[in-house]
Amino acid sequence: MHVELRNISKTFGRVRANEDISLSFSAGRIYAILGENGAGKSTLMKIMSGYQSPDSGTILIDGQPVTFKSPTDAIAHGIGMLYQDPLDFPPFTVLENFIAGRPGGFFPDTAAARQTLISLAERFGFHLDPDRYVDMLTIGERQQLEILRLLSLNVRVLILDEPTTGISAEQKSALFNVLKSLARDEGMTIILVSHKLEDVLELCDEAYVLRRGRYVGHKTIPCPIGDLVELMFGKIVARQERPPATFGEPVMIIDDVCLSSHRLSVHNVSLTIRAGEVIGLAGLDGSGQAEFIRSCAGLLTPERGTIRLNHLDLTRASYHRVAEAGVAFLPAGRLEEGLIRGMTLMEHFALTQPGKAPWVNWMRAWQTTAERIQTFNVKGRPNSPIQTLSGGNQQRFALALLPENLKVLLLEHPTRGLDVESALYIWEQLLQRRASGTAIVFISAELDEIVAYSDRILVFFGGHVTLVDDPADMNTTRLGELIGGKLAR
């Protein structure tokens, strides 16, 4: 099956997401679609998978033009897409999600679907319980479920948008083995949308690069990583050295905290966080770091222990009480938890401005929004709906919403889905806050990010934690061993 995109263009208001892009994809090959955040990668793939319609241009399959009015049309023609945030139904079981969208009307053959699911899962080494609820799965397991669902619908072109974001190294290895097998043994076309150039070099055969909505070049893999970076940004992007840290007095003290959720329990966590300190939380997805950071934010109440902020007991305080005390939380799910889909940037600022007046000063909200857009280099306008921004711009805007003079800033995957330049910008902003005395606690699945920016590291494994007091001699290999359960020497 050969797919061709010919002269694809797409605009959203004044934003030209794709401009006259032509690409070609052959069977049995693995392609990368690269570009900075906002370059138009996801938009182009959503057009190819029927999620959006182009303003102009043509999609051809084996030389014949086709028109997709929905993702169902694209799947019927053999093209399926796995989105960065899997489009599943968390209150339903694995089997119920697997059945969703399959032929069978109101009375699907549940027994046959169960057998197909089990057979496909065994074939690719996935361990999915058909009767388990999806909201109990990790991101990696949800991706596996969606891949199996698409394969059961006989797709021949599989598009994956940032599939390794938020999953463990073991899950990534299993995923890559499956993708290589599908291309090599099944003759499928695999398309990887990613900002992780190491993943591209490990997995892909070819890379197409977009910049500011236009196609700018092609590289055959393997190639020097610098060649890909230069194509993406028009320049070489280098990580800046982290400035030396000066710590202040303790601002948050966690004493013998025990947490429990439907997924796991975390035992006896004790940590003293100092002003101006950066604490990295590492661990496999689902190891307890998400529960821990939410307990510090007032979103999860510990079963035992205390959490104090400048001698103020916040152990059982509400999220709003914790926020009033000077603690802010930026979750990984930007549109699910951090921002409000359908609202404009200005409306977000209007909601976050202090004051108890029963009306909104829209002129001041517009001015404040415009100023923050410029300061944080957000590609958007005050009246832009938040969902029209790229992931990187959403993250910049989420930072712009945070109040000044925070005591503690809690972050969940702060550079999730961001390109190299955007990730460096985010950390530049975070380190400026750190220099003013804000303590930063962050979760990341990127081991090099944790090693590069953390003053201390808290490693979660099997409900227990290990504190690395001096990460100066820590590298990603040793950190990976700790995450995998190997005790520190």
CATH number reported for the structural domain that contains residue 454 in this entry: 3.40.50.300
Q: Is residue 378 part of a domain?
A: yes
pLDDT digits (tens, 9 = 90+) for 48-106: 999 999 999 999 999 999 999 999 899 999 999 988 767 788 888 999 989 886 766 67
Q: Is residue 239 part of a domain?
A: no
What's the pLDDT at 489?
41
Structural domains in the chain (count) = 2
Query: Quick one: 210 and 330 in the same domain?
Result: no
Query: Quick one: 325 and 426 in the same domain?
Result: yes
pLDDT digits (tens, 9 = 90+) for 416-472: 767 777 788 888 889 989 999 999 999 987 778 888 899 999 988 877 888 888 776
Helices (H) and strands (E) in the chain — how many of each?
Answer: 16, 20
Query: Quick one: 203 and 299 in the same domain?
Result: no
Q: Is residue 243 part of a domain?
A: no
Instruction: Report the C-alpha gap between 335 and 342 in whole angstroms.
Output: 10
Query: Quick one: 302 and 429 in the same domain?
Result: yes
Q: Is residue 241 part of a domain?
A: no
What's the pLDDT at 32?
94
Q: Is residue 412 part of a domain?
A: yes
Q: Does pLDDT of 140 surpass 90?
A: no
Helix (H, G, I), strand (E, B) or coil at 461: strand
Domain that holds residue 215: 3-233
Q: Does pLDDT of 290 surpass 90?
A: no
Q: Is residue 345 part of a domain?
A: yes
Asked which of 207, 233, 259 is the last residue of a domain, the reply is 233
Query: Quick one: 372 and 269 in the same domain?
Result: yes
Query: Quick one: 255 and 212 in the same domain?
Result: no
- Arithmetic mean of pLDDT over the chain: 86
Instruction: Report the C-alpha gap between 397 and 39 in whole angstroms.
Output: 17
In three-state form (DSSP H/G/I as H, E/B as E, the rest C), the secondary structure along 18-81 is EEEEEEEECCCCEEEEECCCCCCHHHHHHHHCCCCCCCEEEEEECCEEECCCCHHHHHHCCEEE
What is the C-alpha R_g of the chain?
A: 23
